[in-house]
Amino acid sequence: MVKKNFTRKDLANKVHKRLGFSKNFSSNFIDNVFEKLTENIIKYSYIKISSFGTFKVHNKKARPGRNPKTKVEVNISARNVVKFIPSKIFKKKINSKNGL
């Protein structure tokens, strides 16, 4: 199985083909959607998209780590990461035999 990433460009092309908007408008639209999602995750620490899932900011504590190649120990700094929790509807579609 060949692994292929689904990019913003791919998404903009899908919007262009399905909705008939120009490629430029579709690309700008997708960029604006991701920009607004990012802004709201930063502002509210979570976003819930009905029938899709929830994006939440999770605080990771600092911890010791090790380079597996050199075995040198380093400290991994504390940071925020975004976690995705899929909705029940999304999980059901992913696990169905037909997919969509």
Candidates 55, 49, 47; CA nearest to 81 is 55
Q: Give the model confidence (pLDDT) of 1-36 as tens digits.
A: 677 899 999 999 999 999 999 999 999 999 999 999
Question: pLDDT (tens digit, 9 = 90+) per residue, 34-47?
Answer: 999 999 999 999 99
Residue 63, helix vs strand vs coil: strand
Same domain, 39 and 68: no
The structural domain count of the chain equals 2
Within-domain flag for 1: no
Q: What pTM, to 2 d.p., does this model score?
A: 0.75
Please check whether residues 35 and 67 belong to one and the same domain: no
Segments forming the whole domain that contains residue 59: 45-100
Backbone angles phi, psi at 53, to 5 degrees: 160, -175
Among candidates 63, 90, 67, which has minimal Cα distance to 77? 63
39 and 64 fall within a common domain: no
Q: Are residues 31 and 55 in the same domain?
A: no
Q: Looking at the structure, do residues 55 and 38 belong to the same domain, yes or no?
A: no
pLDDT digits (tens, 9 = 90+) for 46-76: 999 999 999 999 999 999 999 999 999 999 9
Give residues with Cβ within 8 angstroms of 87, minimum separation 6.
50, 51, 52, 53, 54
Contacts of 52 (CB under 8 A, 6+ apart): 86, 87, 89, 90
Within a domain: 2: no
Same domain, 81 and 93: yes
